[in-house]
Amino acid sequence: MVGPDYHRPPVEIPENFKEGANWQRARANPEGAISSEWWLAYHDDTLSHLIDDALKANQSIAAAEAAYRLALATVAASRAALYPTVTTNLSASRSGSGGTTGSSTTGNTTIGSSTASNTTTRSSTTSSSVSQVVSATMTASWEPDLWGQIRRSIESSKGSAQASDAQLAGQRLSIAASVATDYFALRQLDIDIDLLEHQRQINARILDMTRASFLQGMASNDMVLIAQDTLEAVIAILQTSKIAREQFEHAIAVLVGVPPANFSIAPKLDYTFAAPPVPLVLPSELLERRFDIVSAERLAAAANARIGVAKAAFFPALNLAATGGFESSTLASLFSLPNRIWTLGPSLAATIFDGGARTAAVHEAQATYDEAVATYRLTVLTAFQNVEDSLSSCNHLQEQASAFADIYQRNQQLFESQRAQLLAGTVSEQNVLTQQLTLLSAEQSLKDTQGLLIQASVTLIKNLGGGWQWDDTKEAAVNPGVESGH
C-alpha cells in the first residue's frame, strides 16, 4: 500500500499530577471509551434512575448513536470496493417500419330522366418490416487494489468509525455527568430554600419586635428600616434560589427526554452530600477512557490513511471486465449455443496531466493529518489541565468544607449558650434570634460547600473518562457500587 503507515503521534507526558495524584503514561484505546456505572458510588437511587432514563431517552445520545451507525455503514461501503461487481440484464425489443400510398378518382354523375352513372377508380401500395431481439447478459467487473487505495480508504473509514464510537461513549458520559451535576445543584438549592425560609421567618419576627420597641420608644426608626431591608433582602435571595431550582428541574427533564411540564422532583430537605473519596494514586489506564483523546487519536489515524488514498491516484488503475450471455430473435431459442455472445478484456487507465490536482490532493491530505495531530496533542494537554483543575477544586473545597463545619459547630454552641441565657433572663429574645440567624448562615455555607464539592467530584469523574476504579483482570471499569479492593 502506498502512503505512510500510521504511528501514534508522540506527546509530552508529565511524570505525575501536580495536584496530588500519581500516575503513569496513558495511551488511547482504539476500541473506544469504556463505560462504567460510576454514579452508583453516590448511593442515591433517585440519581441512578434519572441517569438510566437519560441514557435511554436523551436525544443527543440518539443523534450520536445514529452518527456511529452511519460511520459503520461507511466502513462497509469502503470494504465492498474490494470485491467484483456483477450485474445482470434481461431485455426484449420489437421494432418495425411500414407505410401505405394510394389514389382514387370519381367519374361524373348525370341526373336525367331515367339514367345515372358513377365511376370510381382506387389504387394503393403497402410495404412493412418487423424485427425482434431478445437478450440475456451478465457483466462482471473488478478493479484490483494494486496500490492499496481501497485498503487505505477502509483504514480511514475504520478510524472515523472508532472516533464516532468514542464520541458516542463521550456523549453518554457527558449526559450522565450533566444529570448528576444538575441533580446535586437542585438538592443544594432545596436546602438553601429551606434555610432561607427559616431566615425569613426569623427576620420577620425581629422586624415585629423592632416595631414594637419603636412604638415603646426603645428603638429608633432607623432600626426599623434596617430590619425591613434585612427581611426584604432575604426574600429577594429566596426568589433567586427558587428560580434556579426550577430551572435545574427543567434542565433535568430535558436530559431525561421528558417535557418539563410533565416532570418534577420532590424536595428532600434532609439530603446528605456524600462524595466518594478521591484515591491518592490514579492509574494510567483511566485516561484511555477519555473519549476526546480516543476520538482525536483515531481521527489522526484516519487522516493518515487518506494520504495513501491521495498518493494512489498517481498510479494507473487496472480494470478487469467480462460480459457473457445470449441474444436471439425469439425467446424460445434464446438459450441455445449458437446465440451465445461474450466479451472479455482488461483496461488500464492512467492520468497523464491534471494541472497539479493530484499533487494538491496529497498536500491537502498531509495538511489535514498535521492538523489532526496538533488537535490530538492539544486534546491530551487539555485533558491534563481538566484533571488538574478538578483535583485542585476537590482538594480546596474539602478544606473549605472542613473549615465551615468547624464554624457551624461553634455557632451551634453559641446558639445553645444564648438559649440558656434567655431562660436565665440575662439576654433578650432578639439576641437569641440574631444568633440563630448566624447559625443558619453558617449551616448554609457548609451545605453549599458540600454541594459544590460533590459537583466537583462529578466533574473529576467526567474528566477522567468515567471514574477512577479499574479492574485489571477484566480490563474494564469496576462497578463503583461493589467492593472490589482496587
What's the pLDDT tens digit per position in 301-346?
999 999 988 988 888 888 888 888 888 777 777 777 777 887 887 8
* pLDDT averaged over every residue in the chain: 83
Select from 400, 396, 391 the least CA-distant residue to 447.
400
Residue 117 has pLDDT above 80, yes or no: no
Answer yes or no: is pLDDT of 286 > 80: no
Inter-residue contact 439 to 411 (CB < 8 Å): yes
* Helical ranges in 148-290 per DSSP H: 149-215, 221-255
The 10 Å Cβ neighbour count of residue 484 is 11
The pLDDT value given to residue 42: 92
Can you tell me which residue has the cell 461501503? 77
Tell me the pLDDT band of 29, cut-offs 50, 70 and 90: low
- Going by C-alpha positions, the residue among 288, 150, 174 that lies closest to residue 158 is 150
Residue range 149-160: mean pLDDT, rounded:
89
CB 178 within 8 A of CB 255: yes
* CA–CA distances in Å: residue 63 to residues 31, 34, 66, 261: 20, 19, 5, 24
Q: What Å distances lie between residue 51 and 32, 174, 428, 472, CA to CA?
A: 21, 11, 51, 26
Q: Can you point out the beta strands (E) in 33-184?
A: 85-106, 120-142
Question: What is residue 478's predicted lDDT score, i.e. its pLDDT?
Answer: 43
Closest C-alpha to 302, from 159, 163, 167, 162: 159
Phi and psi at residue 323, to the nearest 5°: -130, 135
Q: Are strands 340-349 and 470-471 parallel, antiparallel or unpaired?
A: unpaired
Per the listing, cell 451551634 goes with 412
CB atoms within 10 A of CB 480: 20
217 phi and psi angles, rounded to 5 deg: 80, 15
> Is 263 within 8 Å of 236 (Cβ atoms)?
no
pLDDT at residue 480 above 50?
no
Instruction: Select from 318, 314, 316, 315 the least CA-distant residue to 362.
Output: 314
Residue-level pLDDT at 27 = 55
- Is a pLDDT exceeding 90 seen at residue 436? yes
Main-chain dihedrals φ then ψ at residue 470, nearest 5 degrees: -145, 135
Which of 39-43, 45-49, 95-99, 135-139 has the weakest average pLDDT?
A: 95-99
H/E stretch holding 14 reads none
Average the pLDDT over 39-64 and give the result: 92
Contacts of 263 (CB under 8 A, 6+ apart): 249, 250, 252, 253, 256
pLDDT band at 110 (very low <50, low <70, confident <90, very high): very low
Choice among 2-16, 282-296, 395-409 with the minimum mean pLDDT: 282-296
Cβ neighbours around 14 below 10 Å, total: 10
Q: How far, rounded to the nearest angstrom, does the alpha carbon of residue 317 sit from its chain's CA centroid?
A: 39
pLDDT at 99 over 80: no
State mean pLDDT over 66-91: 89
The pLDDT, as a whole number, for residue 144 is 86
Collapsed DSSP state (helix, strand, coil) of residue 97 = strand
Output the pLDDT for position 324: 84
Torsion-angle region of 355 (φ positive above 0: left; ψ -120 to 50: alpha; else: beta): left
Q: Which amino acid makes up residue 236?
A: A
Q: What is the pLDDT of residue 128?
A: 62
Of 103-107, 174-178, 396-400, give the lowest mean pLDDT range.
103-107
Task: Kindly state the average pLDDT of the residues 49-60.
Answer: 92
Q: Which of 42-56, 85-99, 280-294, 435-449 has the lowest mean pLDDT?
A: 280-294
- From residue 240, how far is each of 189, 197, 201, 243 by CA, in Å? 10, 13, 17, 5
Query: pLDDT tier at 127 (50, 70, 90 boundaries)?
Result: low
| Residue 438, all three cell numbers | 448566624
Output the pLDDT for position 25: 54
As a whole-number percent, the residues of the chain with pLDDT over 90 amount to 46
Give residue-wise pLDDT tens across range 197-241: 999 999 999 999 999 999 998 889 999 999 999 999 999 999 999
**Is the pLDDT assigned to residue 477 strictly greater than 70?**
no
- Provide the terminal-to-terminal Cα distance of the chain, rounded to the nearest Å: 45
Would you place residue 149 in the very low, low, confident or very high pLDDT band (cuts 50, 70, 90)?
confident
Average pLDDT over residues 101-114: 40
